[in-house]
A and B are shown apart, each in its own frame.
Chain A
């Protein structure tokens, strides 16, 4: 029966080509607009580390007076003083302070130009915390952190460039005139959003390809390549800045259970209270622990453009559906005589429902195919509307293809319910009489 109704549906679509084209286009455009904007929204609201997002916490503490805070929220970064106190207390399973740096990789071959890599200074724990896969070797040790060792972990891209992709563990590279020994080469690691530092990256950017110990970077007086915020002038020189209330360090703690998180928060509050007693803070403890999803939400990583355009597109789809209801109603009611005949010949209401819903489904499917084409074009053109770093994340994958087709068919079926109900209400006697 399904095949027969499907054929009937196709034949009926050909009977009113203009009306059919209108419906197919409405569904196609509506679904495509929604899917294109959804592909961007999906990419920007992505959970970059789902297996651990509720175990990793960004740590915040109010080291500034209330007037300098944004709506009472502690600043989004830490001072060197607090970050070091947290590292020394070692209260989490793993922890790291981190900040972006901008060293140049100087190739051994003096004729080649220096290479710039997106780089971070952090602790050896970070690699295990963030589940970073290694191609060769591994992270540096805690002893090397403590010894402020000249060691480095590099990304695959840099390893390909400098060592033709061979195992380079134990070899040295030169950063800004200093030699560093490679302890590991990481494989593909491109979490988007860059959850560990949306503050300095805006959430999206090229993969990070070079890491050195935080302690080493401080020893070499490497300034942050990211934001530095001061609520008062720190005074002159590196040491004054390092021990000032300027904030520029992100801090992450791995706390596997809720109990661990609660205990850490209590400790953090205690630390702030201690600072208050010591006279450094002249206000009550104001601290935050935010897991990955809470942190990305707080940092407003999803651009408002993405949300607004998704919203407008869904509104657009809704209008297309209302439009489709009207056109289907026109199409179905035009066939009242035919329905009357079928009913008089013994077709049940249920069969009328089946026939017309399948016909609508055929429209939906055709609209879905058109929508898919338009979505494909649109995803290619996302770079027109969004930042290139975000646009590269919006892709037409299998799940989006399936969603486009399913959304088109379901939406059309939804739109078809009322017209179908009206069709099933057609009185056979009345139609037979009037014709």
Chain B
């Protein structure tokens, strides 16, 4: 097939400005598009990550005590609360902890394999737990055993964290022992030795922020009820379909038992769906923003190509007429403008790939983003080539309808 590249190039050389502008616009659009969509992908990829919890049936209560009580009193109060919650209709099980997955803050600590290590083997989230923790959260125990009532101790926030037994997640066990049996092994948590008695399949860390990404699923569960004057969290699992009713009944039942407490109006009582929503709010927002910008960007670039190509067609009506009169088919004319667009878009895309990589490099250096995946670059190239061709098609078809008689017009 004769692609007529020679004449197209010489025509382009005579009307550089329009071609250069389209190429530049395509280059910039490609650079922004690839990076924006890559940001969307990164932000959304975590959104559906499972926490390991029976999320549909769980809600959490942030209980804050009013006034100052001794740690022994606080623990007695918390246990009385747990009993009240456990007796509520629709409630399957209840536990208390210092935090929960996706909350955003909590306790993390270094894990070592030997007491004389200078640096930590890994960081890990620490969840405080009683004998109901694993069952309430709906965690899957894959090795060893759950905590028994006798294992559970009480500690205040300023006390030394030195449990003799712990349960770990499979992710933490794999990091420490590379697939070997973990149950029965010893790890050092905050300098104190602890024996692993059980392994759960999956449990997510308390934060989804970047600083916690290194230990996202590395969790150690300690058999301690943490008492703090700042309050505590009650985690409640209901029978299926009972969540809403139990969420309404729980605060009232707690206040009826002891009114000297507060529930934060925003964070006091949250279903796990709400917890998830809050945790990923900014990720979802950023993805939406980048998505909208990408869509508008493509629309504007397409409109720009239509506009400039139409102008070029208008400029060359007589020339087209002459070609038609000399025997060029309509098909030839359409092909002429499409090939022209391909050449212009192609050079824009070459420049755009370089710009996209440069921008990505800058984002990596400045914000610690990941390297742009080649798939995104390839997809961006394909989208813009198609967009260019589609946008040039309408003006090209209009050009093909220029009658040969146009050649005889004035001039």
Contacts and interface: CB of A to CB of B under 8 A. Distances in A.
B311 A319 contact: no
Contact of A326 (B25, B158, B159, B285): B25
Contacts of A116: 64, 262, 264
B367 A113 contact: no
Interface stretch (A6-14, A73-81, A232-240): A232-240
B367 A304 contact: yes
A220 B68 CA distance: 9
B190 A330 contact: no
Contacts of A104: 64, 66-67, 262
B32 interface: yes
Interface in B147-174: 157-162
Contacts of A384: 285, 288-289
Contacts of A33: 293, 296
B39 interface: yes
Contact of B158 (A19, A240, A318): A240
Interface string A223-254: 10100100011111110110000000000000
B195 interface: no
Contacts of B230: 102, 223, 225
A315 interface: yes
Interface string A201-240: 0000000000000000000101101001000111111101
Contacts of B118: 67
Interface in B220-275: 228-230, 260, 262, 264
A385 B32 contact: no
Nearest to B292: A33
Interface string B19-62: 00110110011011001100100000000000000000000000
Contacts of B190: 232-233
Given A312-B293, A322-B28, A385-B282, A329 B300 contact: no
A228 B67 CA distance: 22
A434 B318 CA distance: 12
B23 to A, nearest CB: 10
Nearest to B411: A434
B122 interface: no
Interface string B306-329: 011011001100000000000000
Contacts of A313: 293
Contacts of A422: 17
A120 to B, nearest CB: 15
Given A177-B68, A308-B363, A434-B411, A323 B285 contact: no
A386 interface: yes
A416 interface: no
Interface in B308-364: 308, 310-311, 314-315, 359, 363
Contacts of A237: 158-159
A121 B297 CA distance: 50
B281 A387 contact: yes
A312 B32 contact: yes
Contacts of B24: 322
B403 interface: no
B67 A176 contact: yes
Contact-residue size bin, chain B (C-beta under 8 Å from the other chain): 35 or more
A29 B304 CA distance: 14
A240 B264 CA distance: 31
A385 B21 CA distance: 33
A322 B308 CA distance: 12
Contact-residue size bin, chain A (C-beta under 8 Å from the other chain): 35 or more
Given A319-B25, A326-B22, A386-B285, A26 B304 contact: yes
Contacts of A241: 158
Interface in B62-92: 64, 66-68
Given A116-B262, A312-B35, A326-B22, A385 B288 contact: yes
A305 interface: yes
Contacts of B186: none
B131 to A, nearest CB: 24
A268 B359 CA distance: 42
Contacts of A308: 39, 286, 363, 367
A337 to B, nearest CB: 11
A422 B296 CA distance: 29
Contacts of B315: 333
A319 B286 contact: no
Nearest to B25: A322
Interface of A: 19, 22, 25-26, 29-30, 33, 67, 102, 104, 106, 113-114, 116, 176-177, 220, 222-223, 225, 228, 232-238, 240-241, 303-305, 307-309, 312-313, 315-316, 318-320, 322-323, 325-327, 329-330, 333-334, 384-387, 418, 422, 434-435
Given A233-B191, A313-B293, A385-B285, 15 more contacts: A22-B303, A26-B300, A29-B296, A29-B300, A33-B293, A114-B66, A114-B262, A176-B68, A234-B158, A235-B160, A237-B158, A303-B282, A384-B288, A386-B285, A418-B17
25 contacts: A25-B303, A26-B304, A29-B296, A222-B229, A223-B228, A233-B161, A233-B191, A236-B160, A304-B367, A309-B290, A312-B36, A312-B293, A315-B28, A316-B296, A319-B25, A319-B28, A323-B301, A326-B304, A329-B18, A330-B310, A333-B315, A334-B311, A386-B282, A386-B285, A435-B410
8 closest A-B pairs by beta carbon, nearest first, are A330-B311, A385-B285, A323-B304, A326-B21, A241-B158, A104-B66, A114-B66, A326-B308
Interface of B: 17-18, 21-22, 24-25, 28-29, 31-32, 35-36, 39, 64, 66-68, 118-119, 157-162, 190-192, 228-230, 260, 262, 264, 281-282, 285-286, 288-290, 293, 296-297, 300-301, 303-304, 307-308, 310-311, 314-315, 359, 363, 366-367, 410-411
